[in-house]
Structure 1
Amino acid sequence: MKNLWKMTMTNNLKADFKLISPEAEILNKPLPLFEDKMLPEGFTRTKVAEDLFVAMKQFGGIGLSANQVGLPYRVFIMGGHKDMAEGKAWACWNPEILETSDEDIELMEGCLTYPLLFLKIKRPRGCKVKYEDNEGIEHVEEFDHMPSRVFQHEFDHMNGTDFTKLVSKLKLDMAKKKVQKIYKQEKLKAPKTVQLAKKIKRDIEEKKTGLIKPNTDIIT
């Protein structure tokens, strides 16, 4: 796994993460339970989580699963954004969803693995979860609204699936056609990050309506 980190001039390992293709095998099969012995020599949970947070910020998301950048570890990070839980951040190792609320909410979601693709996804509003932190300490926590949704979205990645599997083929095909239309209109081959994709989407919305909608898109 060290090939995903590169040596700096000070001989420290710096993350060199890139988002991998949604067709990659690691994104399409459940990840095994994480054990510390899986990490390369000299690496810690904290090191991996910190580098994932840096990558998440660079990509413009509010959540990132390790397998989205090719790491075979059952862990994701989320938060660190002013619009979510006052900027609180989580590193969730071996996450589990214990319970979900009866109330479902439909919101627009995006995914770092699919630039410019936005889908209306219905999920339980709240969930009770269990995860281990960077020290291996187990936590049980209840999430509501955005933290709940992001946790559920990232948890899907842990199990080898994603939000494209939660809509009908018709809705997915229509959304993909919109993406291709935007590529053509904006003369893009493919945006390198969802941050750019989101800006383009909002710019187009502003051109159409004269208004920018409140930031309700969840990019993970």
Structure 2
Amino acid sequence: MSAEIAIEKKKLTNPPLELHYLGDRVLRQTAKRIARVDENIRQIVRQMLQTMYSKDGVGLAAPQVGINKQLIVIDCEPDNSTNPPLVLINPVIKQVSKELTSAQEGCLSIPGVYMSVTRPEEVEIAYKDENGCPKTSKARDLLGRCIQHEMDHLNGIVFVDRINNFLSLTQELSEHGFSIQAVKHIP
């Protein structure tokens, strides 16, 4: 990661960006591609990272903070200052494994709700980094799951859309003040 993006991994009392929550229509929009990676985009990346660390997240997509751009920040080791965060600009899934795995997921846009989601075990993506350089990468485990979860946000999908157990989902959402009406089930 370049020094121009490096920020301290700490919680801020007033993070620079405001999170949007399940039910807010900005979470349902399809994000627009970024035409040029410049200092403005890098500033958004810094603000997204500061907001993500402040809210104890490991991933954040631009639509979650009301920015309609194909931009994701991920840090699966927020307590490790030597591990740089991953910046994905205009990410595209090139390939997914046939093997599926289920694991608990949560989301900064649906605080307190954690449910098991089935996703491909491994994913291969193409993207641009914070300097606009094209990259490809394969990921599995937490990073692979996080990439898929955040890429869903770029397509107007939230993880609860992937839950098939409506009874559990309705109960979990209502316990945390969210409505099942905000869910758009993906078969």
TM range (shorter): 0.7 to 0.9
Residue 156 (1) aligns with residue 152 (2): yes
Structure 2 equivalent of residue 32 of structure 1: 32
Structure 2 equivalent of residue 105 of structure 1: 101
* C-alpha RMSD of matched pairs (Å): 2.5
Residue from 86, 111, 115 that aligns with 2:111: 115
Gap change, CA 1:161 and 1:179, over 3 Å in 2: closer
**Superposed displacement of residue 33, structure 1:** 1.1
Cα separation, 1, equivalents of 2:123 and 2:29? 23
The count of aligned residue pairs is: 164
Structure 2 equivalent of residue 52 of structure 1: 48
Cα separation, 2, equivalents of 1:63 and 1:82? 10
Structure 2 equivalent of residue 174 of structure 1: 168
**Superposed displacement of residue 27, structure 1:** 1.2
Query: Could you tell me the TM-score, scaled by structure 2's length?
Result: 0.78
User: What percent of counterpart residues are identical?
Assistant: 21
Cα separation, 1, equivalents of 2:147 and 2:172? 27
Cα separation, 1, equivalents of 2:167 and 2:16? 33
Cα separation, 2, equivalents of 1:83 and 1:101? 29
Cα separation, 2, equivalents of 1:36 and 1:78? 21
Determine if contact 1:117/1:175 at 8 Å carries over to the other structure. no
Question: Where do residues 1-220 of structure 1 align in structure 2 (5 Å cutoff)?
Answer: 16-36=16-36, 43-79=39-75, 81=77, 87-168=83-164, 171-178=165-172, 180-181=174-175
Gap change, CA 1:179 and 1:161, over 3 Å in 2: closer
Cα separation, 2, equivalents of 1:172 and 1:51? 35
**Superposed displacement of residue 83, structure 1:** 7.8
1:27-48: per-residue Cα shift (whole Å, max 9, x none)?
Answer: 11211211238x8xxx522211
Gap change, CA 1:83 and 1:121, over 3 Å in 2: farther
1:16-68: per-residue Cα shift (whole Å, max 9, x none)?
Answer: 3111132233211211211238x8xxx52221111111100111110000110
Gap change, CA 1:119 and 1:83, over 3 Å in 2: farther
- What letter corresponds to residue 168 of structure 2 in structure 1? M
User: Which is greater in Rg?
Assistant: 1
Gap change, CA 1:179 and 1:16, over 3 Å in 2: same
Determine if contact 2:122/2:144 at 8 Å carries over to the other structure. yes
- What letter corresponds to residue 66 of structure 1 in structure 2? A
Determine if contact 2:76/2:143 at 8 Å carries over to the other structure. no
- What letter corresponds to residue 19 of structure 1 in structure 2? L
Determine if contact 2:27/2:153 at 8 Å carries over to the other structure. yes
Cα separation, 2, equivalents of 1:113 and 1:15? 15
Cα separation, 1, equivalents of 2:163 and 2:121? 17
Determine if contact 2:91/2:128 at 8 Å carries over to the other structure. yes
- What letter corresponds to residue 175 of structure 1 in structure 2? L
1:155-194: per-residue Cα shift (whole Å, max 9, x none)?
Answer: 00001111111112xx24423424544x6xxxxx89xxxx
- Report the 3-state secondary structure (helix = DSSP H, G, I; strand = E; otherwise coil) of the residue aligned with 1:117: coil
Pick the structure with more helix per residue. Answer: 1
Determine if contact 2:74/2:87 at 8 Å carries over to the other structure. yes
Pick the structure with more strand per residue. Answer: 1
Determine if contact 2:20/2:26 at 8 Å carries over to the other structure. no
